[in-house]
C-alpha cells in the first residue's frame, strides 16, 4: 500500500515536468558534439559521443531514459542537484536544447566492458542487497524501482547497471549528505542514509559489473 | 587415484535424482517464486543467464543432478551460503527437482566477453587442459569434461561460467567453507593452487564457449541443451 502510494507519487512527479514536444535528435547531436548556442563545452568531451563516458567519474548516458536525463539537466540548473561541473553547463542550455540532447543520448548505443577487478564475495554482497534488500535494516530492494539487475524503469527510474563504481558511490554519498536532493519524496536520501560504507562499496561494485540494458548478444 | 574413487562414489550416489522433475512447474518457480520463496530469476536472470556481473552463477543448461544436489547441500549446510541456504531450506524435494529440471533444459545467450589478458588466459588454458603437475593439480577437463563443458551426472560445466564466481568458489573450497564435493576433491585441489592460478583458470574458463554439440543426439524429443538430461551412455557413444 505504502509502496503503491509511493510509486504513484513518483509517477505523478514525472508527469509534472512533461515534455510534450518530441526531441529533435539531429539538434541533440549538434549539442552533444558541439555544445549548445550558449557556448558550453561539448557534452561529448566528458560523456563521449556515444554516451559511454570517457572517464569513470563521468556517468554513462547512453540508453538512459530521455525524461530522466532531461529532469537531471533541469535539476542541475535549479541547484537541487549540486554539481560544480554540470551546474554552469545546464544553466547555459535552453529547455529545448535539454530536450533534444536528452533524446539524443537516450537513443544512443555505447560499448561497455566490465571493470577488470572483481571480488566475488563483494559482488555477491552487493547483488543480494540489490535484489532482496534487507528487511531488518529497512533497505528496500533496489530492483523495486531500478528494475531487475538495475536495468532501469523508464521514464523516472534510471538504470544503474554499467555505471562506474566511482560515479555510483559518489551519487549515494551525495544523496546522503543532501547535496543531491532532487529525488521525489526523498526516496533515495532515505535509502542512502541506511547504507553503511561496506554496502555502498558492494552495491557500487556490483552495478558496475552488470551489463547495461540491451547489451546481450 | 583419489579421483577414481570420487568418480565411483558419484556414480554410486547419483540415482537419488531420477531426472523426473517437472520443467513447467520448475519454470513457474524460477520466474515467479512463491510465498516464502523469491523468484530465482531476480538474481539468476532470465533463463538463468545471470546479469553479466559474475555475482551470481549462470544456471542455463547446467546438469540437472548437479543443480539438485547443490540445492540439497545449501539446505544441509555442507555448502553454506547466506543467500542460498534459507531459500533452499524453504524448498521441498519435489520443487528442487522441478527447478533443477527446468534450468538443465533451458538454453540462453551469453553476454559478450570482456577483454582478456592474453597471458593470463593462456596460463589458465594450460591449467584447465594439463593441470599443474609439479603441485599435483589435475587438469580441470579430467572431471569437468572436454572443454570443461560438464560431465554427467555430477561434474558441472565450467565453460562460460562467470570468472568472479568461479574464483570465489575456488576460494571457498580452499578455505574449507564449501565442503560438498565428494571426498573433498575440490578442497584438495584448491588448496594446492595459488591466487594467481585461480584467477587465471577462472578468466580462461569464463571465456570458453561450449562446443557445438547441438547435433549430438539431436531429435525433436532430445534434450534442449547439450548439457541437459542426456544419459551418460548417449554421451559416450556419440562422441
- From the candidates B52, B109, B114, which should be mutated to test the interface with A, based on the most A CB atoms within 10 A? B52
Interface membership of A154 toward B (CB under 8 Å): no
- pLDDT exceeding 90 applies to what percent of chain A? 81
Do A81 and A140 share a domain, yes or no? no
Rounded to two decimals, what is the model's pTM? 0.85
Query: What 3-state DSSP class applies to B58?
Result: coil
Percent of chain B predicted with pLDDT > 90: 72
Domain that holds residue B75: 12-105
Q: Which residue in A119, A124, A211 is closest to B111 by CB distance?
A: A211
Domain total for chain B?
2
Q: What is the pLDDT of residue B209?
A: 83
How near does any CA of chain A get to the CA of B2, in Å? Answer: 29
Chain A residue numbers with beta carbons less than 8 Å from the beta carbon of B53 are 114, 123, 127, 149, 206, 209-211
Contact across the interface for B164 and A149, Cβ inside 8 Å: no
* Interaxial angle between packed helices A197-209 and A165-177, expressed in degrees from 0 to 180 and rounded to the nearest 10: 140
Does residue B149 belong to any structural domain of this protein?
Answer: yes
Q: Which long-range contacts (CB under 8 A, 24 or more apart) does B46-49 make?
A: B46/B108, B47/B106, B47/B107, B47/B108, B48/B103, B48/B106, B48/B108, B49/A216, B49/B108, B49/B109, B49/B110, B49/B111
Decide if B54 and A120 are in contact by the 8 Å CB cutoff. Answer: yes
pLDDT given at position A54? 93
Confidence category of residue A34, pLDDT binned at 50, 70, 90: confident
Structural domain count, chain A: 2
Chain B neighbors of A131, CB-CB under 8 A: 38, 42-43
Contact between B154 and B63 under an 8 Å Cβ cutoff? The reply is yes
Say which of B53, B82, B110 has its CB closest to residue A123: B53
Nearest by Cα to B179 from B51, B100, B70:
B70
A 177-206 residues inside an 8 A Cβ radius of B? 206
In sequence order, what are the residues at sequence separation of 6 or more whose Cβ sits closer than 8 angstroms to the Cβ of residue B28? Answer: none
Q: Which of A80, A86, A83, A90 is nearest to A170 (CA)?
A: A83
- Which of A107, A134, A152 is the last residue before a domain boundary? A107
Encode pLDDT of A72-125 as tens digits. Answer: 999 999 999 999 999 999 999 999 999 999 999 999 999 898 898 889 999 999
Radius of gyration of the CA atoms of chain A, in A: 17
B152 touches B230 (CB < 8 A) = yes
pLDDT in tens, B28-72: 999 999 999 999 999 999 999 999 999 999 999 999 999 999 999
Does any domain span residue A3?
A: no
User: What is the residue range of A164's domain?
Assistant: 120-216
C-alpha grid cell for residue A124? 555477491
Residues of B in contact with A143 (CB under 8 A): 42
Burial class for B80, CB neighbours closer than 10 Å (0-12, 13-18, 19+): middle
Q: Do A114 and B52 touch (CB under 8 A)?
A: yes
Residues 133-152 of A with CB under 8 A from B: 143, 148-149
| CB-based contact B54 A118, cutoff 8 Å | yes
pLDDT tens per residue across span B106-127: 999 998 887 888 899 999 999 9
| Residues B99 and B134 grouped into a single domain | no
| A127 in reach of chain B (CB within 8 A) | yes
Domain membership flag for residue B237: no
Identify the three-state secondary structure at position B149. coil
Here the cell at position A183 is: 529525488
Which ranges constitute the DSSP H helices of chain B?
A: 2-13, 23-32, 41-44, 64-76, 84-90, 93-105, 118-130, 141-144, 163-174, 185-191, 195-207, 232-238
Question: Could you read off the pLDDT of B67-86 as tens digits, one per residue?
Answer: 999 999 999 999 999 999 99
Q: Provide the 10 A C-beta neighbour count for residue A119.
A: 18
Q: What is the CATH number of the domain that holds B180?
A: 1.10.760.10
Quick: pLDDT tens for B152-209: 888 999 999 999 999 999 999 999 999 999 999 999 999 999 999 999 999 999 999 8
Which residue of B lies nearest to A134 if distances are taken between CA atoms?
Answer: B83
Q: Taking the CA atoms of chain B, what radius of gyration do you get in angstroms?
A: 17
Find residue B137's DSSP bridge partners: B132
CATH code of the domain in which A126 resides = 1.10.760.10
| Residue A182: inside a domain | yes
Residue tagged 576433491 (cell numbers): B185
A8 within domain boundaries: no
For a pLDDT cut of 70, what percent of chain B falls above it?
80
- For chain B, helix (H) and strand (E) counts, in that order, are 12, 0
Q: How far apart are CA B157 and CA B166, in angstroms?
A: 11
Confidence of residue B9 (pLDDT cuts 50, 70, 90): low
Evaluate whether residue A10 is within a structural domain: no
Amino acid at each position: 500500500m505504502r509502496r503503491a502510494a509511493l510509486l504513484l507519487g513518483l509517477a505523478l512527479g514525472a508527469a509534472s515536468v512533461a515534455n510534450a514536444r518530441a526531441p529533435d535528435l539531429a539538434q541533440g547531436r549538434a549539442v552533444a558534439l558541439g555544445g549548445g548556442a550558449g557556448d558550453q563545452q561539448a557534452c561529448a568531451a566528458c560523456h563521449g559521443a556515444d554516451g559511454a563516458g570517457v572517464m569513470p567519474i563521468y556517468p554513462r548516458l547512453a540508453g538512459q531514459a530521455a525524461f530522466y536525463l532531461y529532469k537531471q539537466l533541469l535539476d542541475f540548473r535549479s541547484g537541487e542537484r549540486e554539481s560544480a561541473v554540470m551546474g554552469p553547463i545546464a544553466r547555459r542550455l535552453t529547455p529545448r536544447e535539454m530536450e533534444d540532447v536528452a533524446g539524443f543520448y537516450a537513443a544512443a548505443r555505447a560499448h561497455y566492458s566490465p571493470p577488470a577487478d572483481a571480488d566475488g564475495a563483494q559482488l555477491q554482497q552487493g547483488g543480494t542487497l540489490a535484489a532482496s534488500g534487507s528487511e531488518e535494516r529497512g533497505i528496500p530492494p533496489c530492483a523495486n524501482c531500478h528494475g531487475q539487475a538495475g536495468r532501469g524503469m523508464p521514464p523516472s527510474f534510471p538504470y544503474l547497471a554499467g555505471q562506474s563504481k566511482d560515479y555510483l558511490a559518489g551519487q549515494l554519498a551525495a544523496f546522503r549528505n543532501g547535496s543531491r536532493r532532487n529525488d521525489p519524496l526523498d526516496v533515495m536520501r532515505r535509502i542512502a542514509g541506511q547504507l553503511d560504507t561496506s554496502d555502498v562499496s558492494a552495491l557500487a561494485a556490483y552495478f558496475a559489473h552488470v551489463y547495461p540494458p540491451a547489451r546481450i548478444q | 587415484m583419489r579421483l577414481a574413487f570420487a568418480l565411483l562414489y558419484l556414480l554410486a550416489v547419483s540415482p537419488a535424482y531420477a531426472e523426473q522433475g517437472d520443467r513447467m512447474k520448475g519454470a513457474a518457480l524460477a520466474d515467479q517464486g512463491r510465498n516464502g520463496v523469491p523468484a530465482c530469476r531476480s538474481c539468476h536472470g532470465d533463463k538463468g543467464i545471470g546479469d553479466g556481473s559474475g555475482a551470481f552463477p549462470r544456471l542455463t543448461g547446467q546438469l540437472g543432478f548437479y543443480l539438485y544436489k547443490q540445492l540439497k547441500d545449501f539446505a544441509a549446510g555442507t555448502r553454506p551460503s547466506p543467500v542460498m541456504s534459507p531459500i533452499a531450506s524453504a524448498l521441498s524435494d519435489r520443487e528442487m527437482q522441478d527447478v533443477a529440471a527446468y534450468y538443465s533444459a533451458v538454453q540462453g545467450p551469453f553476454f559478450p566477453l570482456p577483454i582478456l589478458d592474453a597471458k593470463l588466459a593462456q596460463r589458465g588454458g594450460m591449467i584447465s587442459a594439463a593441470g599443474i603437475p609439479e603441485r599435483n593439480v589435475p587438469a580441470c577437463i579430467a572431471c569437468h569434461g572436454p572443454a570443461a563443458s560438464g560431465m554427467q551426472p555430477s561434474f558441472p560445466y565450467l565453460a562460460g561460467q562467470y570468472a568472479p564466481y568461479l574464483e570465489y568458489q575456488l576460494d571457498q573450497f580452499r578455505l574449507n567453507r564449501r565442503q560438498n564435493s565428494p571426498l573433498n576433491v575440490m578442497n584438495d585441489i584448491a588448496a594446492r593452487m595459488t591466487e594467481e592460478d585461480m584467477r587465471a583458470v577462472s578468466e580462461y574458463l569464463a571465456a570458453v564457449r561450449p562446443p557445438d554439440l547441438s547435433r549430438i543426439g539431436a531429435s525433436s524429443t532430445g534434450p534442449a541443451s547439450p548439457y541437459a538430461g542426456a544419459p551418460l551412455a548417449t554421451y559416450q557413444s556419440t562422441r
